[in-house]
Chain A
Amino acid sequence: NAGVMQNPRHLVRRRGQEARLRCSPMKGHSHVYWYRQLPEEGLKFMVYLQKENIIDESGMPKERFSAEFPKEGPSILRIQQVVRGDSAAYFCASSPSMDEQFFGPGTRLTVL
């Protein structure tokens, strides 16, 4: 059973561009969570999704950030008009229920 997959692993964008991060959950997992890890800080919850529904987006900035988990295909975290402060590691986790969350390897976003 493959683990959580994220791509790309590394992403470089210039200020003002869009960043699109993908997450494929583990087989059989219908709950997806996105977290951000800034240098020297802990992991911060951003958004929780189930298939085709955003359940909790209380940790996600109101502007420029959006997330989706379509019926078919991976979950997408989209950041529009990136700024240098968006540089971070973004982790996706999946869960078969609402308990243990299993994390992917992360996408390291660098904004130039």
Chain B
Amino acid sequence: EDQVTQSPEALRLQEGESSSLNCSYTVSGLRGLFWYRQDPGKGPEFLFTLYSAGEEKEKERLKATLTKKESFLHITAPKPEDSATYLCAVQGARGGGADGLTFGKGTHLIIQP
């Protein structure tokens, strides 16, 4: 069974204070690892897909990296508008329920001005 564990559960930072969110996973045949952002009362917003160890992707103040066991979402000089819950998900080998994504419980990030 695919599993995703995110840490920390919650993180409070000052504006401009860089940090990283962790996503540890176990999956049978990784097809992709996904990062989403979710604001209260809204659906998850797609950020990144990573497919293989060593891959990195960037978007504005966010950078996602992937190893064989975990992924990191680095946030550089965050702003208050970056406050949200960040979700990590994996998609395993086809079949057996793996067509859907397996999500972690998320990291609730608060950026204080």
Assuming A42-B87, A42-B103, A43-B103, is B44 touching A59 (CB within 8 A)? no
Q: Which of A46, A48, A100, A103 contacts B43 (CB under 8 A)?
A: A103
Extra inter-chain contacts (13) besides given A35-B101, A106-B43, CB under 8 Å: A4-B43, A33-B101, A35-B100, A42-B4, A42-B103, A42-B106, A43-B101, A45-B102, A55-B99, A56-B97, A59-B97, A99-B49, A103-B43
* CB atoms of A41 and B105 under 8 A apart: yes
Tell me, yes or no, whether A1 is within 8 Å of chain B by CB: no
CB neighbours of B100 from chain A (8 A): 33, 35, 45-48, 56, 59
The count of A-to-B residue pairs whose CB atoms sit within 8 angstroms is 66
Interface residues in A1-49 by Cβ distance below 8 A to B read 4, 6, 33, 35, 41-48
Interface residues in A56-112 by Cβ distance below 8 A to B read 56, 58-59, 91, 98-106
Q: How far is the CA of A41 from the CA of B4 in the complex (A)?
A: 13
* CB atoms of A98 and B105 under 8 A apart: no
Assuming A42-B106, A43-B87, is B99 touching A104 (CB within 8 A)? no
- List 21 interface pairs A-B (beta carbons < 8 Å), by A numbering: A33-B100, A33-B101, A35-B103, A42-B4, A42-B104, A45-B97, A48-B100, A55-B99, A56-B97, A99-B49, A100-B49, A101-B34, A101-B46, A101-B101, A103-B36, A103-B45, A103-B46, A104-B43, A105-B43, A106-B42, A106-B43
